[in-house]
Amino acid sequence: MFEEIFSQLGVVGIPLIILSVITLAIIIERLVTFTLQPNIGKARVRQLFTELQDFRAGQDLCSCQGKADSFCQQKHCLHQGVGVLLSHANCEKSVREEVASIWLLKHRQRMHAGLRVLMLIGTIAPMVGLLGTVLGMITMFKGMAVTTGPVTPAVLADGLFAAMYTTAYGLIIAIPALGASQGLTLWANHYIGRLEFVLNHVNLLIQGVDSGDGSFSQPKKGDNSKNVKSITPREPIAA
**Per residue in 197-216, pLDDT tens?**
888 888 777 777 665 555 55
In the DSSP assignment, the letter for residue 30 is H
Give the confidence band of 6 by pLDDT, cuts at 50, 70, 90: low
pLDDT for the residue numbered 224? 45
In angstroms, the CA 3 to CA 155 distance is: 22
Question: Which amino acid is located at 216 in the chain?
Answer: F
In angstroms, the CA 216 to CA 233 distance is: 19
Write the DSSP assignment of 56-93 as a string of letters: HHHS-GGG-HHHHHHHHTSS-HHHHHHHHHHHTTTS-H
Please answer whether residues 196 and 104 qualify as being in contact, where contact means their C-beta atoms are separated by less than 8 angstroms: yes
Question: Which amino acid is located at 153 in the chain?
Answer: P
Is pLDDT above 50 for 228?
no
Please answer whether residues 55 and 209 qualify as being in contact, where contact means their C-beta atoms are separated by less than 8 angstroms: no
pLDDT tens per residue, range 71-124: 666 677 777 887 777 777 777 777 888 888 888 888 888 899 999 999 999 999
CA nearest to 214, candidates 42, 86, 91, 90:
42
Please answer whether residues 156 and 37 qualify as being in contact, where contact means their C-beta atoms are separated by less than 8 angstroms: no
Percent of the chain with pLDDT over 90: 21
Give the confidence band of 32 by pLDDT, cuts at 50, 70, 90: very high
pLDDT tens per residue, range 164-196: 888 899 999 999 999 999 999 999 999 888 888
* Helix%, strand%, coil% for the chain, nearest 5: 75, 0, 25
Contacts of 115 (CB under 8 A, 6+ apart): 30, 181, 184, 185, 188
Please state the pTM of the whole predicted model.
Answer: 0.74
Domain boundaries, given as residue ranges, for the chain: 10-34+52-206
CA-based torsion, 88, 91, 94, 95: positive or negative: negative
Question: Which amino acid is located at 131 in the chain?
Answer: L
Q: How many CB atoms lie within 10 A of CB 178?
A: 18
Give the confidence band of 221 by pLDDT, cuts at 50, 70, 90: very low
CA nearest to 25, candidates 135, 176, 160, 218:
176
